[in-house]
Chain A
Amino acid sequence: MIKRVMATAAAAGLALTLAACGSSSTSGAAPTSGASAPRTLTVLAASSLTGTFTALKSQFETDNPGVTVKFSFGASSDLAQQIVNGSPADLFAAASDATMKTVTDASLATSSPTIFATNVLQIATVPGNPKGIASFADLAKPGLKVVVCAPAVPCGAAATKIEKATGVTLKPVSQEPDVKSTLSKVTTGNADAGLVYVTDVMAAKGTVQGVTFPESSQAVTNYPIAVLKNATQADLAAKFEALVTGELGQKTLSAAGFGAKK
């Protein structure tokens, strides 16, 4: 019995060694193709940037041979907490000034953040808009199931701001913890309408219908980006930031529904 256990352990050890050899040989081969050793750029970005940043990744990797871009998409506030708690990352793109402030307050950004895009709210309704929602005020109609984001998260803060500006008080059936969760209540047909970002409606590709309302300009959300102080690839991070704020980046963002940088 003990012999068998030992044999298994030895086999596992051997497998690990082989795996280690395998990885070192592949990484050893890379420098011959590129100018420098393979490097990995780690970008933490708000989940609303998933589509655009992923699209920019391939361009960046073509421009910079030997570089791999690794993303961690999530709620900006979560990402900010991760940075404050020492998560290894090079670049942070947030979906609100407040979440970026968490990072700058902790002196973890190298310079003052750049606003690279903006976003506004839109009403998402079930396809065909059967309840005929045409304005922000329509959302307050009785019998309508409306979902919004919780006031603590950026999309909810924006909704609250618009409520104040318009004097329309919504009676939501749920205050969701993030915008994707709000959207899914509409895409699954359980809510009649939800307040989400323009970019979310576009990314939902027809599973919801967007209703634009003029009051949305009362609450414009900024998207700041900053290179992090503990970055191991600060030069690459700066390059990626330049790509995002540059022509191609702006074109990609605008195609996804984002507003232009300031």
Chain B
Amino acid sequence: MTSGGPLAPSKGNAARAAVALPGWLWFPAALAFALIALPVVGLLLKADWPRIPELLLSSASVDALLLSLETAAVATTLCILLGGPLAVVLARGRLRGLRFLRSVVLLPLVLPPVVGGLALLYLLGRTGLVGKGIDLAFGVTIPFTTASVIIAQTFVALPFLVVSLEGAIRTAGERYEAIAATLGASPALAFRRVTVPLILPGLVSGSILAFARAMGEFGATITFAGSLQGVTQTLPLLVYQQREEDVDAAVTTSLLLVVVSVVVIAVARPRTVQGVA
């Protein structure tokens, strides 16, 4: 950082001219991109194009798409409302055992999603630790409901938001809040007027990651929520089921998932980030 600090970033062009990329970097970078992009090209080639309208307009596909968008949106919102404050605490809180807490937050990344789903069942299922009480008190069972899909997605997506947001908060530092405090701002005011705008890009990219993870979530959902059209059958679950009898249909539905995710990410990303910078 030679000029300005995060509030006044140097214009991209100047920075780019000053730091040229070493030539060798292009090779592994291209390889990495190919590893991600080429399998998707494989999907495109395998797709049964003439049947696409019929397959995409089937009631199962439409239901799954709507359910996926709805649950992923709610899960992302929950990630922001719950994970945002958690990231702030992890980055700035003065607590013993913070390092331990941080590693616990990462657990959903390490756990196979199916195990995550089982863990949720043992907690919130009808015979689970908390679920049993809820069942007895309210007569409500959480598994097999749309709410259980959202819980599963939030579980697996939370670390993505927390980790990227925590990183952003650490990078931003506490200087500006300190200055705001000397100017008489209360902690709440400084948080709202200084911290939040500073970390907004990190929050946006974290939310996009969380949304993408929620859209693609499969293992925890099938274990915890089951699969029923219109209630718990999200796009990945539909793909998994379709591939049993009709691989072409599964490929087409996967493409739908790819397209929707790319569109959502492309639309959300530049606008919000540019709006801040």
Contacts and interface: CB of A to CB of B under 8 A. Distances in A.
Interface in A168-197: 172-177, 181, 184-185, 188-191
Contacts of B141: 145, 190
Interface in B211-236: 222-223, 225-229, 232-233
A77 B125 contact: no
A175 B244 CA distance: 13
Given A77-B244, A145-B144, A176 B125 contact: no
Interface stretch (A116-124, A146-154, A242-250): A146-154
Contact of A185 (B226, B229, B244): B226
For this complex, into which size category does the number of interface residues on chain B fall?
Answer: 20 to 34
Given A190-B125, A190-B126, A150 B144 contact: no
B121 A77 contact: no
A150 B239 CA distance: 12
A243 B139 CA distance: 52
Interface in A34-60: none
A75 interface: yes
A145 B226 CA distance: 12
A81 interface: yes
B227 A152 contact: no
Contacts of A147: 226
Given A77-B245, A81-B247, A152-B245, A177 B240 contact: yes
Interface of B is mostly: loop
A188 B127 contact: yes
Interface of A is mostly: loop
B226 A152 contact: no
Contact of B227 (A81, A145, A176, A190): A176
B241 interface: yes
Contacts of A145: 141, 144
A174 B232 contact: yes
Contacts of A185: 143, 226
- Candidate in B223, B227, B233 with the most chain A CB atoms within 10 angstroms: B227
Interface string A225-258: 0000000000000000000000000000000000
B51 interface: no
B228 A174 contact: yes
Interface of B: 118, 121-122, 125-127, 141, 143-144, 222-223, 225-229, 232-233, 237, 240-247
Given A174-B225, A174-B226, A190-B126, 4 more contacts: A75-B244, A173-B226, A175-B229, A188-B127
13 contacts: A77-B244, A81-B243, A150-B241, A152-B242, A153-B241, A174-B144, A175-B226, A177-B227, A177-B244, A189-B125, A190-B121, A190-B126, A191-B144
